[in-house]
Amino acid sequence: MGRKFFVGGNWKCNGTNEEVKKIISTLNAGDVPSQDVVEVVVSPPFVFLPLTKGSLRPDFHVAAQNCWVKKGGAYTGEISAEMLVNLDIPWVILGHSERRLILGESNEFVGDKVAYALSRGLKVIACVGETLEQRESGSTLEVVAAQTKAIADRVSDWTNVVVAYEPVWAIGTGKVATPAQAQEVHAELRKWLHANISPEVAASTRIIYGGSVNGANCKELAAQADVDGFLVGGASLKPEFIDIIKSAE
């Protein structure tokens, strides 16, 4: 089953109005493969969602970087899934390691968020990944399986889920996973989906890699059988994001 290559750009907590306009104009001028070949989604901070949505080329889509775990209300500082739907934002990133580790989001909380966002009609980039300590102690597969299970326990339809494998030790460190390291975990995650959900979900769910992807290392990673695209942080703020999108070809 063909899985369309997926490239997400996570702008994190970066940018001014002027800088965001500049990034968007670079993206709009980029010569990239068609939507039949690659799905591109960029994720600005909440405050820049309307600007980005309003001025980004129509073949690229927009994601929020988070949303609240249930219906909005008395949750100061939060943004609800309903608000994103109201603004016609199709995607949301959930379970990013910066939220898991800095803000203490548990596997269960992330699973609840994924289930609620999907129930409101959002598509979800669900992030999983191990810390350096967990990798060095040999528990990588156990960690990503537990993170994925917390989602699987709460979600029955995986059509609108993209799984982002993002080893924490590779995020923002310049220390990218080798193609073999990425392929190994992606293949194991796909096996997990096969055994615990269904062969169809395993075959159709995109598993993308994130962690220090750049214009120079993307081709080799993209060539791995189970790497279906990327979630890109730092390099998504730079013109080389276009080169990363081109690695879909």
Q: How far is the CB of 170 from ligand PEP (least distance, A)?
A: 6
- Residue 40's DSSP bridge partners are 7, 60
Cα separations (Å) of 96 from 11, 87, 165?
12, 22, 10
- Whether 186 sits among the annotated catalytic residues: the reply is no
Residue whose C-beta lies closest to ligand PEP: 233
- Which one of 96, 98, 105, 130 is the catalytic residue? 96
Q: How far is the CB of 173 from ligand PEP (least distance, A)?
A: 7
- Which one of 39, 105, 130, 166 is the catalytic residue? 166
Q: How far is the CB of 160 from ligand PEP (least distance, A)?
A: 19
Would you count residue 211 as binding ligand PEP (CB under 6 A)? yes
Give the integer Cα–Cα distance in Å for 237 and 99: 20
Give the integer Cα–Cα distance in Å for 114 and 159: 13
Tell me which of 39, 166, 226, 228 binds ligand PEP, using CB under 6 A: 166
Give the integer Cα–Cα distance in Å for 40 and 49: 15
Q: How far is the CB of 71 from ligand PEP (least distance, A)?
A: 27
Give the integer Cα–Cα distance in Å for 162 and 131: 21
Tell me which of 52, 183, 212, 224 binds ligand PEP, using CB under 6 A: 212
User: What is the Cα 233 distance to its own chain's centre?
Assistant: 10
- Whether 61 sits among the annotated catalytic residues: the reply is no
The answer to whether 76 touches 48, Cβ cutoff 8 Å, is no
Tell me which of 172, 198, 216, 223 binds ligand PEP, using CB under 6 A: 172
Give the integer Cα–Cα distance in Å for 82 and 67: 9
User: Judged by CB, which is closer to ligand PEP: 6, or 202?
Assistant: 6
Work out whether strand 38-43 and strand 60-64 pair parallel, antiparallel, or are unpaired.
parallel
Which chain residues interact with ligand PEP by CB under 6 A? Answer: 10, 166, 171-172, 210-213, 231-235
- What residues are labeled active site? 96, 166
